[in-house]
Structure 1
């Protein structure tokens, strides 16, 4: 069994091998693109563009994937939190109940609160059909 220092050394060796291989692949593609550009007599900076675009696209894809995974985790956490809160009841303590012994309907209804009523304290319910069809036909 390897010690922690030896395990870290082995992981470093593996990472170096992967990096060297990746670097070799990228430089090979860069040389191929440069050869194609020189063969077609185009500006040399165009030969580096496919490799740059591929590297930047890969980095953008990795970052976007991380953001999507983080967003999914936050969404799942929010759903779990909401489901956890559904079963819990919230206790409400009314501190001024002795001052206002009426029910909430009595305290806030318009017909009992004449000061805030728009029609001078008279309650007029809305009637959607004030006339019958016969009365309407006789009027017009």
Structure 2
């Protein structure tokens, strides 16, 4: 379903280009699932902020999972593991982790496209606030 949604919203590129040309905004806030907006705002010379609808903790955890790939080195009989490299000790169950992006090229591409706007934007907006997740915001 997510992959279909992303494919469908890509059709909004042309109308989005027209809006950018007509309005000439000072900045655009875009959702990370709309990675095609990066090219559009760049072509119009408009700064972009990337919005990630998840928390700072979630972003930190996904980064660690993506970089360290702990499931690939975990013994097959292990049921849980510690997610290292975070401000707190986080134990996760192996059965709760969707590792299909390692074998599904479409999912891998989707996750890569989510990171693209984040890396190319002026800043990242998270669905959180500093008082709640200061350690993870500072860590990220």
Give TM class, smaller chain: under 0.3
Point out the structure with the larger strand share: 2
Please give the TM-score of this superposition, normalised by the length of structure 2. Answer: 0.23
Please give the TM-score of this superposition, normalised by the length of structure 1. Answer: 0.23
Instruction: Give the greater-gyration-radius structure (CA).
Output: 1
Point out the structure with the larger helix share: 1
State the structure with bigger RCO (CA 8 A, min sep 6), 1 or 2.
2
